[in-house]
């Protein structure tokens, strides 16, 4: 009978350790799901914005100098 409390304590420790591992894995899993949802949202948002901009084109967008202007020649002596 003297070993029963020790065995009980060991089984309680094992149960507590298992709960801790389960909780840790659950937190890691939910974090991974959250990151996946955020990445998917960013990708879909960019895709929808590109489609929106493409549908709102004007005839002037077909010219070579249409769109965003880059100041790459500034200060180069050209």
- CA dihedral in degrees (6, 12, 18, 23; nearest 10)? -150
pLDDT of residue 44: 97
Per-residue pLDDT of the chain (78 residues; tens, 9 = 90+): 455 556 657 677 777 788 888 999 999 999 999 999 999 999 999 999 999 998 988 887 777 665 566 666 666 655
Radius of gyration of the chain (CA): 30
| pTM, two decimal places | 0.56
What residue spans define the domains of the chain?
Answer: 4-56
């Amino acid at each position: 009978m003297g070993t029963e409390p020790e065995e009980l304590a060991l089984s309680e420790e094992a149960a507590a350790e298992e709960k801790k591992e389960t909780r840790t894995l659950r937190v890691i899993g939910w974090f991974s799901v959250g990151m996946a949802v955020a990445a998917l949202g960013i990708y879909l948002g960019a895709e929808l914005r590109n489609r929106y901009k493409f549908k709102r084109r004007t005839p002037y967008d077909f010219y070579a100098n249409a769109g965003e202007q880059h100041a790459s020649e500034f200060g180069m002596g050209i």
